Structure 1
Amino acid sequence: MFDLELLHTFVCVVDAGGFTKAGERVNRTQSTVSQQIRKLEDQLGRPLLLRQRASKHIQLTEDGERLIGYARRLVALALEAHSSLSRDDETGVVKLGVPEDFDVQRLMSLLSGFAREHPHIRLDTVNGLSVDLYARLDNKDIDLALVKRDLAGRHGQRQDTALASWPEQVHWVIGRDTRVIDDPVPLVVYPQGCIYRNRIVHALESSGRRWRVAFASQSLVGIQAAVSAGLGISLLPTSAMREDHRLLTPNEGFAQVPGGELALIAGSRLLTQVQQTLVAYMKERMTMELA
């Protein structure tokens, strides 16, 4: 069997054009390189290089010419195998759940940045309301999820231990050109179970105001468009507000709603290496964005 280390030295000698330069490539002395070439020749029982003292150039024998092609392929294949095995813990798929109203540009930046840093990990994402993402985690359909939640578990929301969390402020919004607010207050909301819908209803009923659902949608784009069109008011995070929205103030009867958080949670307490890699990346990237 060929000794891959000797073949590697042989290839370096040929490519570098000499023993001294080859030694620099493999971090060995010129004499050690020369000894390795002789050892390879002894194993094969035939010379591979023509040694001419008057010439500074390396010349291959006919056997050396036949061997060099095989040597290059064998060494390259060994390096490929080593590289593949050494990154084995960095290869795989992570399934991440993302809130329906998560900022699209931030999501794309997150995905592209992770792909550049970890090209051998595939990141699959699914969108949905936080209540749906919890269900997907429980069913093992996804590995990790970013969920919107109230602090201290208000409104009976479950409080899974977060791997990381970031504060989120929300605001009452209305169409920029909408000035009159009906009674009961028309609401633009997500379906039942949405954390924002729960906050809206709780805030209005706590202040003694009547309300009605004027428009409901699963889509953030639909919610944004309905607010812009003046169909009603809604509660949105800062990142989801558009230029044709305006804030409602306490003077208009809409006090500031307590903020919540964006939490990263896992479906299992034991994370794989690739899942840990994504968690570490998101901790750093999301914290930088919100700093």
Structure 2
Amino acid sequence: MKPDGPHRPLLDPDLLKAIVAVVDCGGFTAAAARLHSTQSTVSQKIRRLEDLVGHRLLERGSREILPTDAGQALLGHARHLLALNDQILDVMAGAAVGAIVRLGVPEDFVASRATQVLADFSRHHPQVKLEITSGLCSGLVSSYDRGELDLILVKQRRHSRAAVACRPETLAWIDSARHPCLRADPVPLVTFPPRGLYREDIIRAIEAMGRNWRIAYTCSSLNGIQHAVAAGLGISLLPLRTVTRDHAVLGAREGLPTVDDYEIALFHRPAADVTVQALARALADMLDEERHGTGHRGLS
């Protein structure tokens, strides 16, 4: 039987910090340097933590160290507890931070009006500290599922996962305005990496046209995709709002289909606090304004 009440052991934050450092750094040596400790001390802390929780937490391979299933389950909670520990210390030190909201957004929203929405939100909620993480949508969803993010704004196929709010995402086929290459044979394609958004849609559409194709450029950065297309490395499929004057928009005239099965979705947990829900409403309002072409009205 599991001990309960006052007999349950308390997890030492130093032990949690040790396993987070080992996983983030990929090994004990680098983790020891980050923690200003020794490798043997870090190893002892991991063993102590494994004894406390009753599970092996790390797989020590010849090349890399990876968390076990139990270790992966512990990591999200460990990061959350360490963040809470830092928050308590900030408050006790007199910092005017009442809450921390960890938000994940795709790269193309970082430089968009979302930044203005976040600035308005911060002015209306001065006690809230925003921690913003940007990246590929698949990575943001994984971080959210591990408990590392409180709120995410991501792109997904319509209705693939229930969201607290979702809006259609309009996509556009794009070529270079100065160096078009749609007529090249095979057609050069610019895409995100395998399993990245839109990649399979691009390939299926070109094959449906009876055209030969080749992957000419792969990049995980939206900015990289935009510049590659503008430079004439290939055609691609991106959100319409990311098209620039250096792009030529393609469509039915060129034999390319409309791709309309994507949406922008907001996720937070049912028990999210009022601050997270308030930020979610502000972001949902922004999506509505962009959808209907209205100006930014700010927050009330």
Q: Identify whether the pair has TM-score above 0.5, normalized to the shorter chain.
A: yes
SS at match of 1:195: coil
Moved more, 123-132 or 197-206: 197-206
C-alpha distance in 2 between matches for 1:276 and 1:148:
19
C-alpha distance in 1 between matches for 2:228 and 2:131:
30
Q: How many pairs does the alignment contain?
A: 196
Structure 1 position 183, deviation (Å): 2.1
1:196 aligns with 2:198: yes
The equivalent of 1:262 in structure 2 is 264
The equivalent of 1:116 in structure 2 is 123
Is contact 1:103-1:239 (8 Å) kept? no
**Identity between Structure 1 and Structure 2 (%):** 38
CA RMSD between the two structures: 2.0
C-alpha distance in 2 between matches for 1:285 and 1:242:
21
C-alpha distance in 1 between matches for 2:217 and 2:250:
18
Structure 1 position 254, deviation (Å): 1.6
Partner letter of residue 176 of structure 1?
Answer: A
Partner letter of residue 123 of structure 1?
Answer: L
C-alpha distance in 2 between matches for 1:290 and 1:256:
17
The equivalent of 1:228 in structure 2 is 230
Partner letter of residue 108 of structure 1?
Answer: T
The equivalent of 1:80 in structure 2 is none
The equivalent of 2:171 in structure 1 is 170
State the TM-score, normalizing by the size of structure 2.
0.61
The equivalent of 1:19 in structure 2 is none
The equivalent of 2:141 in structure 1 is 134
Moved more, 94-103 or 113-122: 94-103
C-alpha distance in 2 between matches for 1:180 and 1:168:
25
CA change 1:286–1:250 in 2 (3 A) is closer
Q: Could you give the per-residue CA deviations for residues 106-131 of structure 1, whole angstroms, max 9, x where no partner exists?
A: 12212111111211111211111111
Structure 1 position 264, deviation (Å): 0.3
Q: Which runs of structure 2 are paired with 1:13-24 in the superposition (5 Å)?
A: none
SS at match of 1:105: coil
Q: Which runs of structure 2 are paired with 1:242-257 in the superposition (5 Å)?
A: 242-257=244-259
CA change 1:280–1:271 in 2 (3 A) is same
Computing the radius of gyration from Cα coordinates, the structure with the larger value is: 1
The equivalent of 1:150 in structure 2 is 157
Is contact 2:110-2:134 (8 Å) kept? no
Q: Which runs of structure 2 are paired with 1:1-291 in the superposition (5 Å)?
A: 91-102=98-109, 104-152=111-159, 159-181=160-182, 182-266=184-268, 268-291=269-292
CA change 1:160–1:99 in 2 (3 A) is same
Moved more, 218-227 or 191-200: 191-200
C-alpha distance in 2 between matches for 1:187 and 1:179:
12
Moved more, 207-216 or 243-252: 207-216
Is contact 2:198-2:237 (8 Å) kept? yes
Question: Which one has the bigger helix percentage?
Answer: 1
Structure 1 position 204, deviation (Å): 2.4
Structure 1 position 259, deviation (Å): 4.4
Q: Could you give the per-residue CA deviations for residues 18-54 of structure 1, whole angstroms, max 9, x where no partner exists?
A: xxxxxxxxxxxxxxxxxxxxxxxxxxxxxxxxxxxxx
C-alpha distance in 2 between matches for 1:131 and 1:216:
16
Unpaired segments of 5 or more residues in structure 1? Answer: 1-83, 85-89, 153-158
Unpaired segments of 5 or more residues in structure 2? Answer: 1-90, 92-96, 293-300
Is contact 1:101-1:220 (8 Å) kept? yes
SS at match of 2:112: helix
